Amino acid sequence: MSDNRYIGVFDSGIGGLTVVKSIVDSMPGENIIYFGDTAHVPYGTRSERQITEYVLADVRFLRTFDIKAVVIACNTADSVAKEKVKQAYPDLPVFGVVDPASRLAAETTKNGKVGVIATNATVKTGAYEKAIHRYNADATVYMEACPLLVPLVENGRFKTGDPVIEIVLKEYLDPLVEKGIDTLVLGCTHYPLLYGTITHLYPELNVISSSDAAAAKMLGTLIQNGTCNENSEAEQSERKYFVSDDAEGVDKLARVFMGDELGGTFQQVDVE
Ligand code: DGL
């Protein structure tokens, strides 16, 4: 059986493209609708009430297409509003990023000390501690809010050897390493772009990308439910990209994030 309906993916902005990239890498035949709420980015500094309102509007927009599942490709939105999305759309399979990354961290840490870097809002919810403890009750979780990382990544400052990003990363990560963590979760969808720099600076760490973990979990579920799109190749798969503001600027940055794998251009839409 093959299901060629779209997978709906959304984020506060373009960080969720790291999840799209992971989906394309592991499920190249899937058709994807992406929405980035660039009129309201960042979510990570906003209140739970406001984030929930935006998230429900994001899903309403994705539901105007024939989608077979929705991926909350934003750790902040997932931490704050996943349950609300599930309540609003009980018939829709909802995938997040926090649970798969937490499970992988809980199952692969050797010394039980896990660091998680994320936005202020994600840290405040305690979602990562809860999820990691669900899979490993003995783990010690050290959360670190890293508000400087999203703006730096969005300005293209994420490459290994860039002195600015390296100084900022050390500022955030040295204290976690001093606490003895052996595993680090990249708990924000922008951070997988820092994977190379972080593993270069801390080669001994088990670094987990929430985007890769989410795509792997989704692949497993689609296979199990028999809802993969088995018919198309990557070249034939359809990817549509929408944002709520500045489609042109986003398009340029998106190419930095995804390179040739983008496979589409951004259009601006008004979402309510
Ligand atoms: N996409 C958000 C996340 O994964 C980061 C950007 C924001 O604060 O909106 O937490």
- Kindly report, residue by residue over 105-133, the tens digit of the pLDDT: 999 999 999 999 999 999 999 999 999 99
Which among 94, 117, 118, 188 is annotated as catalytic? 188
User: 147 CA distance to ligand 1 centroid (A)?
Assistant: 10
pLDDT at 156 (0 to 100)? 87
Q: Which numeric CATH code is attached to 98-210?
A: 3.40.50.1860
- What 3-state DSSP class applies to 71? strand
User: To test the ligand 1 pocket, which listed residue (14, 43, 193) has its Cβ within 8 A of the most ligand atoms?
Assistant: 43
Q: What is the mean pLDDT of residues 179-194?
A: 96
Q: What is the mean pLDDT of residues 58-77?
A: 97
Would residue 146 show up in a list of annotated catalytic residues for this protein? no
Cite the beta strand spans of the chain per DSSP E. Answer: 6-11, 32-36, 67-72, 94-95, 113-118, 140-145, 183-186, 206-209, 239-243, 266-268
Question: Could you give the residue range(s) of every CATH 3.40.50.1860 domain in the chain?
Answer: 6-96+213-268, 98-210
Cα 200 to Cα 71, 161, 176, 229, distances in angstroms: 30, 9, 16, 36
Band of residue 235 on the pLDDT scale cut at 50, 70, 90: low
CB neighbours (10 Å) of residue 104?
Answer: 22
Indicate the pTM of the whole model: 0.93
Q: Identify the residue whose tokens are 């009750």.
A: 137
pLDDT at 1 (0 to 100)? 66
Q: Could you tell me the two tokens for 188?
A: 């924000």
pLDDT at 171 (0 to 100)? 98
To the nearest 10 degrees (0 to 180), the angle between helices 98-108 and 75-88 is 120
Band of residue 230 on the pLDDT scale cut at 50, 70, 90: confident
Q: Could you tell me the two tokens for 267?
A: 């259009």
Mean pLDDT of the chain, nearest integer: 94
Which among 74, 213, 218, 262 is annotated as catalytic? 74
Q: Which residues contact ligand 1 via a Cβ below 6 A?
A: 11-13, 15, 41-44, 74-76, 119, 122, 150, 188-190
CATH topology of domain 6-96+213-268: Rossmann fold (3.40.50)
Band of residue 234 on the pLDDT scale cut at 50, 70, 90: low
pLDDT at 148 (0 to 100)? 96
* Contact predicate 14/253, CB 8 Å: yes
* Contact predicate 8/35, CB 8 Å: yes
Band of residue 231 on the pLDDT scale cut at 50, 70, 90: low
